[in-house]
Every structure is written in C-alpha cells, then in structure tokens.
Structure 1
C-alpha cells in the first residue's frame, strides 16, 4: 500500500473501486412486492381505546379523529393508564429522577430498582431477580453470559431468543414446537454425538407463545432436562403477572424450583418497559458481573421501575386477572360460535384465516368498523396459517367485547371468510 494512502491521500485504484453501499430503496420495494412492508401508525394513548394516525412516514402524524377499540395490545391487565401506576412513575421521577444516569454498576442502581427486583423475586418464587433495560437485552445478555455449548430451542421461540442463540456461538438444535418427544429424541441424538457429548446444555423455551396462544409442556421439559443434566430457561414474557401471585406458567405448574432461569418482561402485563431474569443467588450475581447487556447499559429508568413494581402489586392484589380471563373466555366462545377457529389456551386468541390476503382484508374491515386487531402473516407465522391476533384487556367493558364480536361477524361476511 502506498505511503500516500497510508497518510490519508488518494485511494489506490483497483479492487477498492466500486459501489459498496446499500440499496435500501430496492430492499423496500422488494418488501412491498412480497407484502411484507409495515408502517408506523401512532396512537394518542395506550389503553383499551385510542385514536390513530394514518401512516405518515417521516411527516408529522395527524390523528384521524375516530376512537377505536384496541384488541392488539400486550397491555393485558390494562394498567398503563391506572392512576396508581401513573402516580408511582411520577413519584419516582420527582424523587429519584427521570433516568438512572449510569449503568447499575456505577451510580445507576437505586432503591426503586431494588424494590422492583424484590417483588419480582417473590412473585417468581426465586432468591433474586435482576432488571434489564428490555426483554431483548435480558435474553441476549443471559444466554451470552451462560455461554452454553449446546442450546435446544423450541422452533417457535421469540425473535429475541433466536437472536440470542445465534449470537452465543453455541451449537443450536431446534426441536419441534411444544413437542417433548422430539426434544427427547434430539437430546438422545446429542448424547450419542461425540461433538456434543461434553459441555454445558441449555434448553430454552417461551412459556406462552405470542402468536399461537399455546403453552409449552414445561413439566415434560424439566423431566427431560434433569435426565440429560441440562439447564432449563423459560421466557415468561406473555405470562408474567397473569397467574396466581403475579407469576407465570412456571408458578401455575409449580415448577419454580426446577426451572434454572426465568425471564420476563415489564412491558406487557406490567405496563412499563424493561425485562428481568429471576433465579438463585449465584445466577443473579453472575449476571450482574457477566451479562454485557446489563453491565454496559444505563439502568432501567426509575419511573419505569416504579411503574412495573406498582403494576405487579396490583396484578397480585386486585381482580384484574379475573376480569381478563372472563373476557378471554367470552371472546373465545363468541368467535368460535361465529365459525372462526381459535386455538390456544391463553389470553392470546389467534383467529385463523389461512390466506394472507384474506387476513389483511379482514384486519382492514375490522379497522373500518372501529376495531384494531392486526393480521399476522408469513414469515412471522408459517405459510397457510395467517391469522388475526386478538388480545383483550382486563379493562374492556362488556359492550366493548360485544362490539368486537359484531365487527368480526360483519367483517368476516364482507371478506368471505365466514
């Protein structure tokens, strides 16, 4: 290489010439052709009903003025606007500050964080818990810190788990969705393979799957893990706060002492932002020191921590959970009576349509009737299984649920799926 180039002069000709940029316009056009392009549609509030602005790109959004029922949120307990949660966040901002100001290992650790983590540990029936800036950061940081040699992952695991597995450098073995027999077979194959016999093994699964509303066979997974000498990690993002004591499926099934790593999010039923890991003292102390997404991130904001802590308290002590489950069963029964197929067993109601075009048309027809419920299509779900994902909130009134069913009846007939 020439002295001129090394000192910042002209670039030498040859292999370095040419356009090595990124054709983003072409990529967007390709997504448009494949019906995969999505757009932002801002709302005026996060609650059971809201006004929305049409997609505006980079321009300032303008609300369309019509309030719609929202059946598309993970705000399952409807606590984002609860006066007690709002007050807890405001008090934390006034007393502690609007931001943590630094990583938790520097000066960003506050009493608000510790209060939240104590409540999380109690609800998850573990020694300790640790709050992260997001559920994504909790997954990526935890799996990377554990540094497993082999990971066994459910094929429908959430994207943050998938990305964490890819980034870990481990050998990743994907087993069939919620299939304990396939997991057993793959554990057996790995035990016989000289390349995977030694080292640490981690089985990781969601507890509630966000697009199907079904539940992992956690007891069987724990049995298989104990036979194989593997650890179990369960992401309770869509279950935390919704079961007895504010826990998740792990607590419902009485498996707190058999699941080595419990993850969750603060941004769904707990009406805030952030994620957490719960487990024994050694696990949490290790993550404090080794999880890069914790060590090198500014701590969760005090208002977010306080809001989540209060929301967890309300999930444990009020009738919000009961109200949610009554609404879930009412909608499931009503949608089924209309002729829709609604699998699953949780608060997530996947209304199967099949064809992606029909699903998009049904979502648009629902929107026109004042109901926001998104179409979920490939690659998020397999081909031929496009659906409308319905997620009620505890704060939806009886007439809201009736209006939702009326919209599904009219829209389904208009689109031709009923």
Structure 2
C-alpha cells in the first residue's frame, strides 16, 4: 500500500472512531426476520427495512425456488441484449398496475434508479429543486446529471415556491424538476405532495417522488402518491423492491413515453445485467399480495402505533413521525452509539444512526417495526428500552 494512502486511511479512521462516527457492522446469522441472531445471540430486530415481513415469507420463498428450477439463477445478459426474460415483462406490467401508471421499468437497486432516471432526463441546461433532506441517492443522481441543484428547506413550501419562481424567471434553464422523498426515512415524515404538485403546475415543473419508504407502507400499501390520489400528477414514481416488497431492486413508474426513454438512455439499464429470475418472480408475487389484501399493511401500522405509544410514554423523544418509522433521538453521537450497544447487550437490535446520515447532534436509534413482530416482542423491547434509557440518563 502506498504511504500516502496508508496515512490517509489511518488518520481518518481514527478520527471517525474518536468522534463516535465509525459504523461497526454486525453480520446477521440467518434470516433477517423479527428475531435475528448475531454472534449466537437472539435479538428483537428493530433495524430492518423489511416492513411487511416479506423477506422471509414462505410463499415467496417457494415461488423463488420453483423459478430457479425453470429459469436458472441469473438472467444472463443486460436487458437490451437478451437479458429481458418474459418474467421481467410481467414484473413491469404488475408494477404499473401497482402504482397506477401506464408503464414501469425495473432496475437492480433503488440507488440505481435515482442514478439512472434523473441523469437520463436532466442535463447541464436544466435545474433541479431538491428537498434539503433528500436521500443520498437523489443527491448523487442530481450531481450526475450536471443540472443546477437548488436545495429548498425541508418540506418548506414557501421556500420551494420562491425558488421555483426565481429559477423560472431567470430564463437560464430549459427544464426544471422538483424532487422529493415520499417518506423521509430518518424522521418518518411524509412529503407535502399536494402542495408540491400545485407549485409544479404553476411553474411547469417536472415532478419526481422517491417512495422507497412509502411503497407498501402508505396509501394502503400502494405508496405516498396513491395516499394523496396524485397518480396522474407525478411524472416519476420511483421506489425500491428491497424494503416493504422484501426482495431486491428498484423501479420507476410513469407515462409510457417516459419509460420508453429510460429504456434507451438510462445507463444502469443499458450496462448492468438484469435482475435474477427468482427475485423477479418473488417480487411479482409480493406485489400481487399487496394488490389483493391490506392485511400486512394494516398489521404494520398497528405495530408501529403500538411501539410509538410505548416509547413516548417512557419519555423518549420520538420526533414527529407520521409513519411506522420511529426514531429515538438521543443527540450526542457517542451516547447514541453507547445506547445502541447496551440495547444489543440486553436483547434489542436497534442500530445507531449518526452523522453524516443525520446532522451532527441529532444522533438516534431508528426503530423499524414490521408486520411480522408480535405484541409480545414489542413489549419485551419496551422493557429493555426503559432499563437502558434510565441507566444512561436518557429518560427519568
């Protein structure tokens, strides 16, 4: 290793550890369900994005197994050569049905979607109005496009309107996009989509919603756009297939001509091997389950409300979440990590989240209850939260 690289790595890793910002990764031994095993110890799992418990669903596992026997384990090529299987076509038709759009396109990950779709439509002659708390993949996708990035204050519609008006009146840009998360994953709040659409119509803005944490969760499972009944008003509905859907991948849904354009101009679609057939079949089956029934969605919200009420009663600062995502905001980074470690020692896996994922001084453990948790599991978790919270002086 070069001396310069060694010095860089050692100095910066030490600095992260000293500041309580170094993230330790603990491998999960077995399935990522409501109870997980780490270092041989069973833990109540409150850190997964597996909102509906579908990652370990028996029906979806059987679908995947049967598909491997027929199609094999890989797609064998990129989509534009001969990697598009009939399974991919069926998936995208089901995605369009699920999101209430004309068409949809699937990608290898949600992160890929934002890298692909934004840069395929926006360029150096354009501007993007981006919520200040948007996900890192949105930020990177905007940067890749080379468009002018204009951040507006988080969910501040006055600031958005003023900046949209200034961008339009400047005459500098051919196209202007407004882009936002549907559900913000660190605080659990929901974007003000009706107001965003109103502003977009006034100034002819392209609308883009990243609903990674909304699909399967809001709108009776159909997502945040459906929650507000705005399927005909949002140009890009982007989402992930690895959270509530339980498998892997991402998608963009919208008008047919927009999807046609992404198939010929979005680079991750053009230059990455297609999603594996077993995953595609499992995703399609999962979507059908959500179309057919709201049972898992309803159980998720019941569990989320139960945990939220319990933590609030104990005296934890849980912010203003509007979804099952429930942060316990601790503040100082080292205390946040200590709190997370003690929870783990007592039997709860709730990962600490600190800068740069959230602003300095707002460290938290983020609780992600799922439809697969039982009330007994959540009660056990609350007992541990009370014990550790009092021990560390976080609650009285």
TM-score under structure 1 normalisation? 0.90
| SS, match of residue 335 in structure 1 | helix
Q: 5+ residue gaps in structure 2?
A: none
2:357 paired with 1:380: yes
Show CA shifts across 1:36-92 (max 9, x none). Answer: 22232111221111111xxxxxxxxxxx22111100000000111111110111122
Which residue of structure 2 aligns with residue 32 of structure 1?
17
Q: 2:36 aligns with which of 23, 26, 50?
A: 50
Structure 1 residues 224 and 265: CA distance shift in structure 2, 3 A: same
Name the SS of the counterpart of 1:105 in structure 2. Answer: helix
Which residue, 330, 353, 375 being the options, matches 2:306? 330
Deviations 1:4-48 (A, max 9, x none): xxxxxxxxxxxxxx9765632333223222322223211122111
Q: For residues 20 and 413 of structure 1, do their structure 2 counterparts lie closer, same or farther at Cα, with a shift above 3 Å needed?
A: closer
Match of 1:87 in 2: 62
1:259 equivalent among 229, 234, 245: 234
Looking at structure 1, the residues matched to 5 and 28 of structure 2 have their Cα atoms a distance apart, in angstroms, of: 35
Q: Where do 1:102-181 residues align within 5 Å? A: 102-148=77-123, 149-181=126-158
Measured in 1, the distance between the counterparts of 2:355 and 2:102 equals 40
The structure that has the greater radius of gyration is: 1
Q: Deviations over 1:327-386 (max 9, x none)?
A: 001011111111112221101101111222221121112111100011111221122221
**Displacement after TM superposition at 1:173 (Å):** 0.1
1:214 aligns with 2:189: yes
Q: As a proportion of its length, which structure holds more helix? A: 2
Alignment of 1:41 with 2:18, yes or no, is no
Separation in 2 of the partners of 1:26 and 1:305?
43
8 Å CA contact 1:135–1:265 kept in 2: the answer is yes
1:70 to 27, 31, 45: 45
| Matches for 1:345-356 after TM superposition, within 5 Å | 345-356=322-333
Q: Distance in 2 between matches of 1:315 and 1:95?
A: 25
Name the structure 2 match of 1:412: 389
Map of 1:275 onto structure 2: 250
Unaligned runs of 5+ residues in structure 1 are 1-17, 53-63
Q: How does 1:261-340 map to 2 (within 5 A)?
A: 261-318=236-293, 319-340=295-316
Matches within 5 A, 1:349-364: 349-364=326-341
Alpha carbons of structure 1 residues 31 and 356: separation in structure 2 relative to 1, 3 Å:
closer
Aligned to 2:214: 239
Helix, strand or coil at the partner of 1:271 = coil
**Structure 1 residues 25, 121: CA separation in 2 closer, same or farther (over 3 Å shift)?**
same
Partner Cα distance (1:357, 1:406) in 2: 23
SS across alignment from 1:28: helix
Asked if 2 retains the 8 angstrom alpha-carbon contact of 1:241 and 1:316, the reply is: no
Distance 2:336 2:44 in 1: 19
Give the aligned length: 388
1:183 matched to 2:160? The reply is: yes
Q: Secondary structure at the match of 1:203?
A: strand
Q: How many Å apart are 1:244 and its aligned residue?
A: 4.4
- Pick from 185, 194, 201: which aligns with 1:226? 201
Show the counterpart of 1:15: none
Preserved CA contact (<8 Å) 2:21 2:333: no
The alignment yields a C-alpha RMSD, in angstroms, of 1.5
Name the SS for the 1:131 alignment partner. Answer: strand
* Deviation of the 1:245 alpha carbon: 6.0
Partners of 2:3 and 2:44 in 1: CA distance: 48
